[in-house]
Amino acid sequence: MMTSFDLKKLLAAVLGYVGKILLFMIVPGLHLISVGKKPLGYTLVFLFFAVRILPLFVPFGPLRLNFMLSANLLLINLLVLLIAYAFLVLDLPKIGARRVTPICGAALALFLLLTAFSNSSPYDYAVTRTDHMCPLLCYGDIAVYKINNGRQDDFFKPNVGDLVVYRLGRDKVINRIVGIPGQTVCQSSPATNQIGSKDEPVCADEIALASEHYFVSADNRAPTKMGTYFQKKIIRKGQMIGILPKVVANWPDWVTPLSYLR
């Protein structure tokens, strides 16, 4: 029969084992340092923190250079994780015997500090998967846009002609605003904005836009690879996740092997 002392000892061993795994997963490279592979371990730790510190000094904006830098940092981070986790999995039976050195505590503290005080980027990107906005945004183009943070003082007032980004299922769609609240849009091809002047032609199929509702349409009304679903649509202001998208790269120009995943 297991005594209370043995139970506590077993619990401590399990917690220590799990704790070491979590530590080595949070900061890749520390495990390699603990097993004596210090050159590779220190290199992975350095790259891991460089990926997180460098963007703090290079603002991520709608510029090709900054986007490419961020993309390359993501790839470096992925490579670091793959190498570190491969060694970690192979060494799982002996993790309990690995030592946690002071450098492990310092690395963990630095990671928590960066996580607590780092600000998220005000920009994000969308990959165009249709030709509905070509030639401005064609299939495979990567566009960086400013995120709508929900604060009206920081977000623009959408107007006719502006480009906006909204979600349609799991996809990010970029369209141009044709009509704003209070206006009437004619569902013709292409869609036109009917302000209501007597000089404007009469439209048989009119849509009056209510408050917070916007009519968006594609620049290229020809059939696209995704059909005509993205051609014309009414969206609410709350659906807009970004503004001012700007093309910064194309999949083949970014990472050629990854272009086959389109």
Query: What is the per-residue pLDDT across 159-178, written as a single tens digit (0 to 9) for each?
Result: 888 888 888 777 788 888 88
Is the predicted pLDDT of residue 130 greater than 80, yes or no? no
Q: Which residue has the higher pLDDT, 212 or 150?
A: 212
Q: What is the pLDDT of residue 256?
A: 40
Q: Are 242 and 143 in contact (CB under 8 A)?
A: no
Residues 181 and 137 in one domain: yes
Residues 208 and 107 in one domain: no
SS3 category, 166? strand
Burial of 201 (0-12, 13-18, 19+ CB in 10 A): exposed
SS3 category, 131? coil
Q: Which of 254, 22, 23 is nearest to 127 (CA)?
A: 254
Is the predicted pLDDT of residue 189 greater than 50, yes or no? yes
* Mean pLDDT of the residues in the chain: 76
Residues 53 and 102 in one domain: yes
Residues 106 and 129 in one domain: no
Average pLDDT (105-128) is 80
Residues 10 and 86 in one domain: yes
pTM of the model: 0.59
User: Domain boundary residue among 85, 117, 149?
Assistant: 117
Residues 245 and 173 in one domain: yes
- Quote the number of domains for the chain: 2
Question: How far is Cα 236 from Cα 150, in angstroms, rounded to an integer?
Answer: 13
Structural domain of 108: 4-117
Q: What is the pLDDT of residue 138?
A: 82
User: Domain boundary residue among 93, 117, 141?
Assistant: 117
Average pLDDT (42-61) is 80
What's 184's domain CATH number? 2.10.109.10
Is the predicted pLDDT of residue 16 greater than 70, yes or no? yes
Residues 92 and 128 in one domain: no
User: Could you tell me the pLDDT band of residue 197, with boundaries at 50, 70 and 90?
Assistant: very low
User: Domain boundary residue among 51, 84, 117?
Assistant: 117
Beta bridge partners of 126: 143
